[in-house]
Protein backbone atom coordinates (compact mmCIF):
# COMPACT_ATOMS: atom_id res chain seq x y z
CA UNK A 1 0.00 0.00 0.00
CA UNK A 2 1.35 3.42 -0.94
CA UNK A 3 1.06 6.06 1.76
CA UNK A 4 -0.78 9.20 0.72
CA UNK A 5 1.65 11.11 2.92
CA UNK A 6 4.28 10.65 0.21
CA UNK A 7 2.15 12.29 -2.45
CA UNK A 8 2.52 16.04 -2.83
CA UNK A 9 -0.16 17.83 -4.84
CA UNK A 10 1.01 20.03 -7.71
CA UNK A 11 -0.13 23.61 -7.14
CA UNK A 12 0.10 26.08 -9.99
CA UNK A 13 -0.23 29.79 -9.47
CA UNK A 14 -3.23 31.21 -11.29
CA UNK A 15 -1.08 33.67 -13.23
CA UNK A 16 0.91 30.80 -14.82
CA UNK A 17 -1.87 29.00 -16.69
CA UNK A 18 -4.82 29.64 -18.94
CA UNK A 19 -8.32 28.24 -18.46
CA UNK A 20 -9.11 25.22 -20.56
CA UNK A 21 -11.34 26.03 -23.50
CA UNK A 22 -13.68 23.05 -23.30
CA UNK A 23 -15.05 21.98 -19.94
CA UNK A 24 -18.12 21.56 -17.84
CA UNK A 25 -18.66 24.63 -15.70
CA UNK A 26 -19.64 24.28 -12.06
CA UNK A 27 -20.52 27.32 -9.99
CA UNK A 28 -20.34 27.29 -6.19
CA UNK A 29 -22.42 29.91 -4.38
CA UNK A 30 -21.22 30.15 -0.79
CA UNK A 31 -24.00 32.59 0.06
CA UNK A 32 -26.55 29.81 -0.44
CA UNK A 33 -26.27 27.74 2.73
CA UNK A 34 -27.80 24.42 3.78
CA UNK A 35 -27.10 22.09 6.73
CA UNK A 36 -24.09 22.09 9.05
CA UNK A 37 -22.06 18.90 8.82
CA UNK A 38 -21.23 16.78 11.88
CA UNK A 39 -19.16 14.11 10.16
CA UNK A 40 -18.85 10.54 8.93
CA UNK A 41 -18.13 7.32 10.76
CA UNK A 42 -19.00 3.77 11.74
CA UNK A 43 -19.51 1.43 14.72
CA UNK A 44 -17.34 -1.21 16.38
CA UNK A 45 -20.19 -2.62 18.47
CA UNK A 46 -20.98 -6.28 19.30
CA UNK A 47 -17.31 -6.96 20.14
CA UNK A 48 -16.05 -5.96 16.68
CA UNK A 49 -13.70 -3.58 18.49
CA UNK A 50 -11.87 -6.59 19.90
CA UNK A 51 -10.80 -7.45 16.35
CA UNK A 52 -8.79 -4.21 16.39
CA UNK A 53 -7.54 -4.81 19.93
CA UNK A 54 -6.22 -8.25 18.99
CA UNK A 55 -4.25 -7.18 15.90
CA UNK A 56 -0.43 -7.11 16.10
CA UNK A 57 0.86 -3.64 17.01
CA UNK A 58 1.94 -2.61 13.51
CA UNK A 59 -1.24 -3.75 11.75
CA UNK A 60 -3.33 -2.28 14.56
CA UNK A 61 -1.70 1.11 14.08
CA UNK A 62 -2.10 0.90 10.31
CA UNK A 63 -5.80 0.03 10.53
CA UNK A 64 -6.52 2.80 13.02
CA UNK A 65 -4.70 5.31 10.82
CA UNK A 66 -6.65 4.13 7.79
CA UNK A 67 -9.87 4.82 9.66
CA UNK A 68 -9.08 8.08 11.44
CA UNK A 69 -5.92 9.77 10.14
CA UNK A 70 -6.85 12.98 8.32
CA UNK A 71 -3.82 13.02 6.01
CA UNK A 72 -3.10 9.36 5.23
CA UNK A 73 -6.46 7.72 5.98
CA UNK A 74 -10.17 8.28 5.66
CA UNK A 75 -10.30 10.92 8.41
CA UNK A 76 -13.50 9.55 9.98
CA UNK A 77 -14.91 11.84 12.65
CA UNK A 78 -17.72 9.91 14.40
CA UNK A 79 -17.46 6.65 16.36
CA UNK A 80 -20.70 4.85 17.17
CA UNK A 81 -20.47 2.89 20.44
CA UNK A 82 -22.81 0.08 21.51
CA UNK A 83 -24.20 0.22 25.06
CA UNK A 84 -24.50 -3.33 26.32
CA UNK A 85 -27.53 -5.05 27.84
CA UNK A 86 -26.32 -8.64 28.11
CA UNK A 87 -25.59 -10.40 31.42
CA UNK A 88 -22.48 -11.93 29.82
CA UNK A 89 -20.02 -11.34 27.00
CA UNK A 90 -20.26 -14.72 25.31
CA UNK A 91 -20.36 -14.88 21.53
CA UNK A 92 -20.62 -11.25 20.36
CA UNK A 93 -22.80 -10.06 23.25
CA UNK A 94 -22.33 -6.53 24.60
CA UNK A 95 -22.07 -6.89 28.38
CA UNK A 96 -24.26 -4.82 30.66
CA UNK A 97 -22.93 -2.43 33.32
CA UNK A 98 -25.65 -3.89 35.58
CA UNK A 99 -25.96 -7.54 34.56
CA UNK A 100 -28.32 -8.51 37.40
CA UNK A 101 -31.56 -7.02 38.64
CA UNK A 102 -30.58 -4.94 41.69
CA UNK A 103 -33.92 -5.78 43.35
CA UNK A 104 -36.37 -3.60 41.48
CA UNK A 105 -36.52 -0.24 39.71
CA UNK A 106 -36.08 1.80 42.90
CA UNK A 107 -33.38 -0.38 44.48
CA UNK A 108 -29.84 0.94 44.82
CA UNK A 109 -28.03 0.22 41.53
CA UNK A 110 -25.21 -2.32 41.35
CA UNK A 111 -23.14 -1.10 38.44
CA UNK A 112 -19.92 -2.74 37.29
CA UNK A 113 -17.31 -1.41 34.85
CA UNK A 114 -14.35 -3.31 33.42
CA UNK A 115 -12.70 -0.33 31.70
CA UNK A 116 -12.74 -2.17 28.37
CA UNK A 117 -16.37 -2.33 27.20
CA UNK A 118 -15.62 -5.13 24.74
CA UNK A 119 -12.70 -3.23 23.24
CA UNK A 120 -14.70 -0.08 22.52
CA UNK A 121 -12.84 2.02 25.10
CA UNK A 122 -9.54 1.21 23.38
CA UNK A 123 -10.86 2.14 19.94
CA UNK A 124 -12.45 5.32 21.31
CA UNK A 125 -9.17 6.41 22.88
CA UNK A 126 -7.26 5.72 19.67
CA UNK A 127 -9.87 7.64 17.69
CA UNK A 128 -9.59 10.55 20.12
CA UNK A 129 -5.80 10.56 19.75
CA UNK A 130 -6.32 10.96 16.00
CA UNK A 131 -8.70 13.90 16.36
CA UNK A 132 -12.18 12.37 16.71
CA UNK A 133 -14.44 14.34 19.05
CA UNK A 134 -17.91 12.94 18.26
CA UNK A 135 -18.82 9.75 20.13
CA UNK A 136 -22.32 8.38 19.66
CA UNK A 137 -23.28 5.86 22.36
CA UNK A 138 -26.47 3.91 21.71
CA UNK A 139 -28.30 1.09 23.48
CA UNK A 140 -29.85 -1.62 21.36
CA UNK A 141 -31.92 -2.68 24.37
CA UNK A 142 -32.40 -2.15 28.07
CA UNK A 143 -31.34 -5.11 30.24
CA UNK A 144 -33.93 -7.88 30.06
CA UNK A 145 -35.21 -7.39 33.61
CA UNK A 146 -36.31 -3.86 32.64
CA UNK A 147 -38.47 -5.07 29.74
CA UNK A 148 -41.93 -6.51 29.23
CA UNK A 149 -40.59 -9.79 27.84
CA UNK A 150 -37.86 -10.20 30.49
CA UNK A 151 -35.22 -10.63 27.77
CA UNK A 152 -32.77 -8.32 25.97
CA UNK A 153 -33.60 -10.22 22.76
CA UNK A 154 -36.79 -10.76 20.76
CA UNK A 155 -38.28 -7.30 21.07
CA UNK A 156 -40.20 -6.40 24.19
CA UNK A 157 -40.83 -2.88 25.51
CA UNK A 158 -39.27 -0.85 28.29
CA UNK A 159 -41.48 -1.26 31.35
CA UNK A 160 -43.43 1.92 32.00
CA UNK A 161 -43.47 3.56 28.58
CA UNK A 162 -46.84 4.58 27.22
CA UNK A 163 -49.18 1.56 27.12
CA UNK A 164 -46.66 -0.90 28.61
CA UNK A 165 -46.69 -1.91 32.28
CA UNK A 166 -44.86 -4.66 34.16
CA UNK A 167 -45.58 -6.46 37.41
CA UNK A 168 -42.13 -5.53 38.73
CA UNK A 169 -42.70 -1.80 38.25
CA UNK A 170 -41.83 1.18 36.05
CA UNK A 171 -38.20 1.04 34.88
CA UNK A 172 -37.98 4.30 32.91
CA UNK A 173 -36.05 6.18 35.60
CA UNK A 174 -33.79 3.23 36.33
CA UNK A 175 -32.90 2.92 32.63
CA UNK A 176 -32.26 6.68 32.43
CA UNK A 177 -29.91 6.34 35.41
CA UNK A 178 -28.24 3.37 33.72
CA UNK A 179 -27.52 5.29 30.53
CA UNK A 180 -26.31 8.30 32.51
CA UNK A 181 -23.87 6.12 34.44
CA UNK A 182 -22.57 4.67 31.19
CA UNK A 183 -21.78 8.20 29.96
CA UNK A 184 -19.99 8.88 33.25
CA UNK A 185 -17.85 5.76 32.89
CA UNK A 186 -16.62 6.96 29.50
CA UNK A 187 -16.01 10.40 30.98
CA UNK A 188 -13.72 8.76 33.53
CA UNK A 189 -11.85 7.14 30.63
CA UNK A 190 -11.26 10.56 29.05
CA UNK A 191 -13.97 10.21 26.38
CA UNK A 192 -16.91 12.61 26.32
CA UNK A 193 -19.99 10.99 24.86
CA UNK A 194 -21.47 13.69 22.64
CA UNK A 195 -24.63 11.90 21.47
CA UNK A 196 -26.77 9.33 23.28
CA UNK A 197 -29.43 7.02 21.90
CA UNK A 198 -31.56 4.33 23.51
CA UNK A 199 -33.26 2.55 20.58
CA UNK A 200 -32.02 0.63 17.56
CA UNK A 201 -34.49 -0.41 14.84
CA UNK A 202 -37.41 -0.29 17.30
CA UNK A 203 -39.95 -1.59 14.79
CA UNK A 204 -38.09 -4.91 14.49
CA UNK A 205 -38.24 -7.75 17.07
CA UNK A 206 -34.77 -9.13 16.38
CA UNK A 207 -33.40 -12.41 17.72
CA UNK A 208 -30.50 -10.38 19.15
CA UNK A 209 -30.56 -7.38 21.48
CA UNK A 210 -33.32 -4.94 20.62
CA UNK A 211 -36.34 -3.13 22.03
CA UNK A 212 -39.67 -2.22 20.49
CA UNK A 213 -41.07 1.29 20.60
CA UNK A 214 -43.30 3.74 18.82
CA UNK A 215 -42.44 7.41 18.65
CA UNK A 216 -45.02 8.11 21.33
CA UNK A 217 -43.50 5.52 23.64
CA UNK A 218 -40.00 6.86 22.97
CA UNK A 219 -41.22 10.33 23.91
CA UNK A 220 -42.38 9.11 27.31
CA UNK A 221 -38.84 7.92 28.04
CA UNK A 222 -37.10 10.96 26.57
CA UNK A 223 -39.02 13.11 29.06
CA UNK A 224 -37.34 11.12 31.84
CA UNK A 225 -33.88 10.79 30.32
CA UNK A 226 -33.44 14.46 29.45
CA UNK A 227 -33.81 15.84 33.01
CA UNK A 228 -31.77 12.92 34.37
CA UNK A 229 -28.81 13.94 32.21
CA UNK A 230 -29.31 17.58 33.19
CA UNK A 231 -29.27 16.69 36.90
CA UNK A 232 -25.93 14.92 36.33
CA UNK A 233 -24.47 18.03 34.64
CA UNK A 234 -24.57 16.24 31.30
CA UNK A 235 -26.86 18.59 29.41
CA UNK A 236 -24.20 18.88 26.70
CA UNK A 237 -24.90 15.28 25.68
CA UNK A 238 -27.22 15.39 22.68
CA UNK A 239 -30.14 12.97 22.79
CA UNK A 240 -31.02 11.11 19.61
CA UNK A 241 -33.94 9.05 18.37
CA UNK A 242 -34.74 6.53 16.98
CA UNK A 243 -32.33 4.68 14.63
CA UNK A 244 -35.27 3.21 12.76
CA UNK A 245 -34.69 0.54 10.10
CA UNK A 246 -35.52 3.00 7.35
CA UNK A 247 -36.30 6.58 6.41
CA UNK A 248 -40.04 6.12 5.98
CA UNK A 249 -40.66 4.67 9.43
CA UNK A 250 -38.36 7.23 11.04
CA UNK A 251 -40.47 9.94 9.46
CA UNK A 252 -43.55 8.52 11.17
CA UNK A 253 -41.76 8.20 14.52
CA UNK A 254 -40.49 11.77 14.27
CA UNK A 255 -44.05 12.99 13.75
CA UNK A 256 -45.12 11.11 16.88
CA UNK A 257 -42.21 12.58 18.86
CA UNK A 258 -43.30 16.05 17.82
CA UNK A 259 -46.94 15.43 18.71
CA UNK A 260 -45.88 14.15 22.14
CA UNK A 261 -43.77 17.25 22.81
CA UNK A 262 -40.41 15.47 22.86
CA UNK A 263 -38.78 16.56 19.60
CA UNK A 264 -37.30 19.72 21.12
CA UNK A 265 -35.58 17.64 23.81
CA UNK A 266 -33.49 15.97 21.11
CA UNK A 267 -30.39 17.21 19.34
CA UNK A 268 -30.60 14.79 16.43
CA UNK A 269 -33.05 12.60 14.54
CA UNK A 270 -31.36 9.35 13.53
CA UNK A 271 -32.29 6.67 11.03
CA UNK A 272 -30.86 3.69 9.20
CA UNK A 273 -31.28 3.11 5.48
CA UNK A 274 -32.12 -0.58 5.15
CA UNK A 275 -35.85 -0.74 4.49
CA UNK A 276 -35.96 2.70 2.86
CA UNK A 277 -33.14 5.12 2.17
CA UNK A 278 -32.88 8.90 2.51
CA UNK A 279 -34.49 10.36 -0.58
CA UNK A 280 -35.93 13.58 0.84
CA UNK A 281 -35.52 15.63 4.04
CA UNK A 282 -37.31 14.46 7.17
CA UNK A 283 -39.78 16.94 8.60
CA UNK A 284 -37.94 18.10 11.72
CA UNK A 285 -36.24 21.10 13.25
CA UNK A 286 -33.40 18.88 14.50
CA UNK A 287 -30.26 17.80 12.69
CA UNK A 288 -30.57 14.48 10.86
CA UNK A 289 -28.06 11.63 10.79
CA UNK A 290 -28.06 8.43 8.75
CA UNK A 291 -26.54 6.18 11.42
CA UNK A 292 -26.32 2.73 9.87
CA UNK A 293 -26.19 1.27 6.42
CA UNK A 294 -24.15 -1.49 4.79
CA UNK A 295 -24.16 -4.25 2.21
CA UNK A 296 -24.65 -6.84 4.93
CA UNK A 297 -24.66 -10.05 2.92
CA UNK A 298 -22.74 -9.38 -0.28
CA UNK A 299 -19.46 -11.26 -0.81
CA UNK A 300 -16.40 -9.16 0.08
CA UNK A 301 -15.76 -6.55 -2.60
CA UNK A 302 -12.78 -4.20 -2.38
CA UNK A 303 -13.14 -2.46 -5.76
CA UNK A 304 -14.31 1.07 -6.52
CA UNK A 305 -16.18 -0.02 -9.65
CA UNK A 306 -16.67 -3.36 -11.37
CA UNK A 307 -20.23 -4.01 -12.46
CA UNK A 308 -22.26 -1.69 -10.25
CA UNK A 309 -22.50 -4.15 -7.36
CA UNK A 310 -23.87 -3.30 -3.94
CA UNK A 311 -20.48 -3.34 -2.23
CA UNK A 312 -18.55 -1.18 -4.68
CA UNK A 313 -17.02 2.07 -3.49
CA UNK A 314 -18.55 4.23 -6.21
CA UNK A 315 -22.03 3.09 -5.25
CA UNK A 316 -21.39 4.14 -1.66
CA UNK A 317 -20.12 7.52 -2.79
CA UNK A 318 -23.45 7.93 -4.60
CA UNK A 319 -25.44 6.86 -1.54
CA UNK A 320 -23.61 9.29 0.74
CA UNK A 321 -24.01 12.11 -1.77
CA UNK A 322 -27.74 11.47 -2.04
CA UNK A 323 -28.23 11.44 1.73
CA UNK A 324 -26.29 14.66 2.23
CA UNK A 325 -27.64 16.60 -0.75
CA UNK A 326 -31.17 15.26 -1.17
CA UNK A 327 -32.01 14.64 2.50
CA UNK A 328 -29.83 17.25 4.23
CA UNK A 329 -28.09 14.65 6.39
CA UNK A 330 -25.43 16.12 8.67
CA UNK A 331 -23.76 12.75 9.18
CA UNK A 332 -23.53 9.38 7.45
CA UNK A 333 -22.31 6.20 9.16
CA UNK A 334 -21.44 2.76 7.84
CA UNK A 335 -22.28 -0.27 10.00
CA UNK A 336 -18.83 -1.62 10.93
CA UNK A 337 -15.33 -0.24 10.40
CA UNK A 338 -13.23 -3.36 11.02
CA UNK A 339 -14.38 -6.97 11.21
CA UNK A 340 -13.42 -10.47 10.15
CA UNK A 341 -15.56 -12.49 7.76
CA UNK A 342 -16.30 -12.56 4.04
CA UNK A 343 -19.12 -10.02 3.57
CA UNK A 344 -19.26 -6.29 2.86
CA UNK A 345 -20.66 -5.49 6.31
CA UNK A 346 -17.38 -3.69 7.13
CA UNK A 347 -15.00 -1.24 5.51
CA UNK A 348 -11.82 -3.16 6.39
CA UNK A 349 -11.72 -6.96 6.49
CA UNK A 350 -9.33 -8.69 8.89
CA UNK A 351 -8.06 -12.24 8.64
CA UNK A 352 -5.57 -13.20 11.31
CA UNK A 353 -2.85 -10.56 11.23
CA UNK A 354 -3.60 -9.34 7.71
CA UNK A 355 -6.27 -6.96 6.44
CA UNK A 356 -7.91 -5.84 3.21
CA UNK A 357 -9.21 -2.32 2.62
CA UNK A 358 -12.34 -1.74 0.56
CA UNK A 359 -12.84 1.28 -1.68
CA UNK A 360 -15.95 1.96 0.42
CA UNK A 361 -13.53 3.38 2.97
CA UNK A 362 -12.12 5.79 0.38
CA UNK A 363 -15.61 6.83 -0.68
CA UNK A 364 -16.10 7.91 2.92
CA UNK A 365 -12.69 9.61 2.86
CA UNK A 366 -13.82 11.91 0.06
CA UNK A 367 -16.61 13.23 2.27
CA UNK A 368 -14.94 13.00 5.69
CA UNK A 369 -11.85 14.89 4.56
CA UNK A 370 -13.78 17.29 2.35
CA UNK A 371 -16.62 18.16 4.74
CA UNK A 372 -15.06 18.36 8.19
CA UNK A 373 -17.14 18.85 11.38
CA UNK A 374 -18.75 22.28 11.43
CA UNK A 375 -18.62 22.69 7.65
CA UNK A 376 -21.67 24.20 5.99
CA UNK A 377 -22.96 22.74 2.75
CA UNK A 378 -23.32 25.46 0.13
CA UNK A 379 -25.01 25.74 -3.22
CA UNK A 380 -23.72 24.33 -6.51
CA UNK A 381 -25.03 24.50 -10.06
CA UNK A 382 -23.97 23.36 -13.51
CA UNK A 383 -22.84 20.10 -14.99
CA UNK A 384 -24.33 16.63 -14.86
CA UNK A 385 -22.10 15.24 -12.13
CA UNK A 386 -23.09 14.53 -8.53
CA UNK A 387 -21.59 17.67 -7.03
CA UNK A 388 -21.64 19.10 -3.53
CA UNK A 389 -19.62 21.84 -1.83
CA UNK A 390 -18.71 22.67 1.76
CA UNK A 391 -17.37 25.78 3.45
CA UNK A 392 -15.14 24.44 6.22
CA UNK A 393 -14.43 26.03 9.58
CA UNK A 394 -10.80 26.72 8.55
CA UNK A 395 -12.04 28.85 5.64
CA UNK A 396 -11.35 26.29 2.92
CA UNK A 397 -13.93 25.41 0.31
CA UNK A 398 -14.28 21.78 -0.78
CA UNK A 399 -16.02 20.91 -4.03
CA UNK A 400 -16.74 17.19 -4.34
CA UNK A 401 -17.43 15.90 -7.85
CA UNK A 402 -18.55 12.32 -8.54
CA UNK A 403 -18.41 11.17 -12.17
CA UNK A 404 -20.20 7.83 -12.59
CA UNK A 405 -19.92 7.98 -16.37
CA UNK A 406 -17.55 6.07 -18.64
CA UNK A 407 -15.76 9.17 -19.98
CA UNK A 408 -13.38 11.58 -18.32
CA UNK A 409 -14.35 15.23 -18.36
CA UNK A 410 -12.62 18.55 -17.92
CA UNK A 411 -14.25 20.84 -15.36
CA UNK A 412 -14.03 24.52 -14.54
CA UNK A 413 -15.15 25.57 -11.07
CA UNK A 414 -16.02 29.17 -10.32
CA UNK A 415 -17.26 30.66 -7.08
CA UNK A 416 -19.66 33.33 -5.90
CA UNK A 417 -19.12 34.97 -2.53
CA UNK A 418 -15.86 33.14 -1.77
CA UNK A 419 -12.93 35.44 -1.02
CA UNK A 420 -9.96 33.70 -2.60
CA UNK A 421 -7.42 36.37 -1.64
CA UNK A 422 -3.96 36.83 -3.14
CA UNK A 423 -2.46 33.74 -1.50
CA UNK A 424 -5.18 31.28 -2.44
CA UNK A 425 -4.23 27.80 -3.56
CA UNK A 426 -6.08 24.85 -5.02
CA UNK A 427 -5.47 21.12 -4.67
CA UNK A 428 -7.36 18.08 -5.90
CA UNK A 429 -7.63 14.49 -4.70
CA UNK A 430 -9.01 11.54 -6.65
CA UNK A 431 -10.48 8.16 -5.77
CA UNK A 432 -11.02 5.50 -8.42
CA UNK A 433 -10.15 1.87 -9.17
CA UNK A 434 -6.37 2.46 -9.08
CA UNK A 435 -6.10 5.35 -6.59
CA UNK A 436 -7.27 5.61 -2.99
CA UNK A 437 -6.96 9.32 -2.28
CA UNK A 438 -4.25 10.57 -4.64
CA UNK A 439 -3.20 14.05 -5.72
CA UNK A 440 -4.22 15.41 -9.11
CA UNK A 441 -2.78 18.35 -11.02
CA UNK A 442 -5.11 21.33 -10.81
CA UNK A 443 -4.87 24.77 -12.41
CA UNK A 444 -6.00 28.00 -10.80
CA UNK A 445 -6.49 30.89 -13.20
CA UNK A 446 -8.44 34.10 -12.88
CA UNK A 447 -10.40 32.82 -9.90
CA UNK A 448 -11.42 29.63 -11.73
CA UNK A 449 -10.24 26.12 -10.87
CA UNK A 450 -9.57 23.97 -13.93
CA UNK A 451 -9.11 20.23 -13.66
CA UNK A 452 -10.17 16.83 -14.89
CA UNK A 453 -12.51 14.30 -13.37
CA UNK A 454 -11.58 10.82 -14.64
CA UNK A 455 -14.28 8.36 -15.65
CA UNK A 456 -15.93 6.52 -12.79
CA UNK A 457 -14.08 8.56 -10.21
CA UNK A 458 -14.59 11.07 -7.45
CA UNK A 459 -12.47 14.18 -7.03
CA UNK A 460 -12.28 16.65 -4.17
CA UNK A 461 -11.21 20.11 -5.26
CA UNK A 462 -9.99 22.05 -2.22
CA UNK A 463 -9.69 25.85 -2.35
CA UNK A 464 -7.76 27.39 0.52
CA UNK A 465 -7.78 31.20 0.87
* Tens digits of residue pLDDT in 107-117: 999 999 999 99
Q: Kindly report the CA angle at 463 between 288 and 326, in degrees rounded to 5?
A: 25
Q: Distance between CA atoms of 447 and 413, rounded to whole angstroms?
A: 9
Average pLDDT over residues 298-308: 97
Dihedral, CA of residue 147, residue 151, residue 155 and residue 156, to nearest 10: -30
Report whether pLDDT(9) > 80: no
pLDDT (0 to 100) of residue 340: 97
pLDDT (0 to 100) of residue 447: 85
Q: Kindly report the CA angle at 77 between 74 and 79, in degrees rounded to 5?
A: 110
Average pLDDT over residues 345-352: 98
Q: Distance between CA atoms of 94 and 88, rounded to whole angstroms?
A: 8
pLDDT (0 to 100) of residue 422: 66
Q: Distance between CA atoms of 443 and 17, rounded to whole angstroms?
A: 7
Q: Distance between CA atoms of 353 and 361, rounded to whole angstroms?
A: 19
Report in angstroms the alpha-carbon separations of 293 from 147, 319, 364. 27, 10, 13
* Tens digits of residue pLDDT in 372-404: 999 999 999 999 999 999 999 999 999 999 999
pLDDT (0 to 100) of residue 420: 75
Average pLDDT over residues 67-89: 98
* Tens digits of residue pLDDT in 411-428: 999 999 998 766 789 999
Could you report how far apart the first and last alpha carbons of the chain are, in Å? 32
Residue among 125, 110, 100, 99 nearest 188 (CA): 125
CA atoms 327, 333, 335, 341: torsion sign: positive
Report in angstroms the alpha-carbon separations of 253 from 67, 260, 358. 32, 11, 34
Mean pLDDT for the chain overall: 94
Q: Residue 162: CB partners within 8 Å, gap ≥ 6?
A: 214, 216, 217, 219, 220
Say what angle helices 313-326 and 359-370 make with each other, to 10 degrees.
30
Question: pLDDT-derived band of residue 6, with 50, 70 and 90 as boundaries?
Answer: very low
Report whether pLDDT(71) > 50: yes
Average pLDDT over residues 181-193: 98
Q: Distance between CA atoms of 152 and 137, rounded to whole angstroms?
A: 17
Residue among 280, 308, 315 nearest 294 (CA): 315
Amino acid sequence: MISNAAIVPVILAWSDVFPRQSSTTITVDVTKKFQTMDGFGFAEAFQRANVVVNLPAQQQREVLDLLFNTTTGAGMTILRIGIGSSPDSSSDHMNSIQPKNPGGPTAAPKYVWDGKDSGQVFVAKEAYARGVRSFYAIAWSAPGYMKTNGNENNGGYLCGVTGQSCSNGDWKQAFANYLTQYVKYYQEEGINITHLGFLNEPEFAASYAGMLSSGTQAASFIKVLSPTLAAANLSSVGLTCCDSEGWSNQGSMTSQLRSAGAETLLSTITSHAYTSGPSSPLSTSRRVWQTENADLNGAWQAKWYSSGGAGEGMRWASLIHSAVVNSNCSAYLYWIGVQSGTTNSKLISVSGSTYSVSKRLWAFAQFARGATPGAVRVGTSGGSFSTSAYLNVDGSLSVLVLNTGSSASAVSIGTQGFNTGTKAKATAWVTDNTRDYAALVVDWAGGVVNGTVPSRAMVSFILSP
